[in-house]
Structure 1
Amino acid sequence: MRRADRLFRIVEYLKARRETVTAKELGEELEVGVRTIYRDIADLRASGVPLTGEAGVGYLLSPNYVVRPLLFDDEELEALALGAQMVQSWADPAMAQAARRALDRITVVLPDSLADNIRQSTSYAYPSSGKPALQIDFTSLRRAIGTRHLVEFAYIDQNGSSTTRRIRPLAIIFLAPNWMVAAWCELRCDFRHFRVDRMQELVVLDEQFELEPGKTLDDMQRQCEEEFQKKSPSATS
């Protein structure tokens, strides 16, 4: 469970009760240690949540405390609804489901008038017939970025030549209608971008990589900016 989710769950749990709740009980409910609960309680108090009680006795939340939902204006809601549709249309199934869940969570806490704006959105995004077919498990590739696992695959370039690549995946980039993976390529010993639809026989390796200087996403972005500046007209004038 993410820390932000845990803090929200603590508030939910305490608000549903009218008697003090011990740190041990909270820890058992959230499957974390008592010391973690103590730190979370301190952070909640620092952010203004009206908690009474102390360690060893228990905690109580003021019954007048209201967890206020996020409110958006009409255009913000339109953008969220359209963005979620675009993710559902173009991303992998797991990301599409996540987009639907996120939109449902937002909708359920909105006042009815605003929730209707999402349900009756007049902006749409549908899958295109030009969407390239993928031959790999896109979800596995995307998750390998978060877990820093090396991946291997066969890559077919624009000339039809095939090479075997072993990379450190750093980011996923959408350049419609294509998905790209930005990576450190161990074959070329340099940064490379690979079109996901040209990748075959993807294997996520058990081996993880560390963030080494010169091989990170920040380094790649810095290199791209430097190359762009060298090519710009102002750089040669």
Structure 2
Amino acid sequence: MRKADRLNDIVHHLRRMHQAVTAQTLAETFEVSHRTIYRDIQDLINSGVPILGEAGVGYVIDKKYHLPPIMFDADELEAIALGISMVSNWTDEKFAEKAQSAYKKIQATLPAPLINELHQISTFSAPSRYKIPWEVNFTEVRECIRRKHLVSFSYLDLNEQQSTRVVRPLALISFSPIWLLTGWCELRNAFRNFRLDRISEFTKLNTRYKDEKDKSLATYLKMVKEEEDT
């Protein structure tokens, strides 16, 4: 078990206990030496965790203490960092800035051992947007999805046929390096996926659509799952 994971687990273990827990018990629980437990406890105290007690007596955690809203193990941190890297490299500048802002907020809440884990992460994504660029404003598409605005655009399909579509935008899906806009197409009266790099003249309409079960993202995802299972 990595140190950052063990520190996290020690905090959770102490919070569950109703009486002092000795270093020996902690050492047996986490299969490490007494000396390691002493160092871990001191690291937690130094990072602001209110642990009371001393070696030979036992340790308790202040019952008023609440775990910070962000408490991750090393693998979770790596997954988050990879996600932030993907957003930074695969979307647009504005969304990339938001990803980096989130990264800094996460970093600011972490104890020192976890910050060290964060700095040692070596899982990244490579830029892909510039291999298949798109003209559409990525942030505007996200806003239309969030606020349920109908959109219209010109679309060039794989047969090089151009058409004008009015769509209920439901989701943006990445099949790197390709981004798809998934939505309900009013022209085809069905769910459709549109490649961002084949969309032009994207326009947000003033009309906002109301949720309809048969035209929802949940229904689309259920349909996809059923097709995969057959």
- Shift, 1:215, TM fit: 1.1
Q: Counterpart of 2:67?
A: 68
Output the CA distance in 2 between the equivalents of 1:129 and 1:93.
11
1:65–1:172 CA distance, 2 compared to 1 (3 A): same
| Alpha carbons of structure 1 residues 201 and 114: separation in structure 2 relative to 1, 3 Å | same
Structure 2 residue matching 1:214: 3-state secondary structure: helix
After superposition, residues 24-63 of structure 1 pair within 5 angstroms as none
- 1:177 maps to a residue whose letter is P
How many Å separate the matches in 2 of 1:212 and 1:122? 43
Q: Which residue in the other structure is 1:57 paired with?
A: none
Q: 2:153 touches 2:201 (CA, 8 Å); kept in 1?
A: yes
Alpha-carbon RMSD across the aligned residues, in angstroms, is: 1.9
2:88 paired residue number: 88
Cα distance, 1:118 vs structure 2: 1.4
* 1:66/1:226 CA distance change after superposition, 3 Å: closer
Structure 1 alignment gaps of length 5 or more: 1-63, 233-237
What letter is aligned with 2:168?
R
Q: 1:101 deviation in Å?
A: 1.1
Aligned to 2:180: 180
Distance change >3 Å, CA 225–CA 85, structure 1 → 2: closer
Q: Which structure exhibits the higher relative contact order, with contacts defined as CA atoms closer than 8 Å and separated by 6 or more residues?
A: 2
AA in 2 matched with 1:213:
K
> How far is the alpha carbon of 1:130 from its aligned partner?
6.4
TM-score by length of structure 1 reads 0.65
Which residue of the partner structure matches residue 132 of structure 1?
Answer: 132
Aligned to 2:211: 211
Measured against aligned partners, the alpha-carbon deviations of 1:201-237 in whole angstroms (never above 9, x if no partner) come to: 10011110001231111222233334444xx3xxxxx
Corresponding letter in the other structure for 2:212: E
The answer to whether 1:102 aligns with 2:98 is no
User: Could you tell me whether the CA contact under 8 Å between 1:156 and 1:162 is conserved in 2?
Assistant: yes
Distance 1:77 1:167, change over 3 A: same
Task: Quote the Cα distance in structure 1 between the aligned partners of 2:123 and 2:163.
Answer: 42
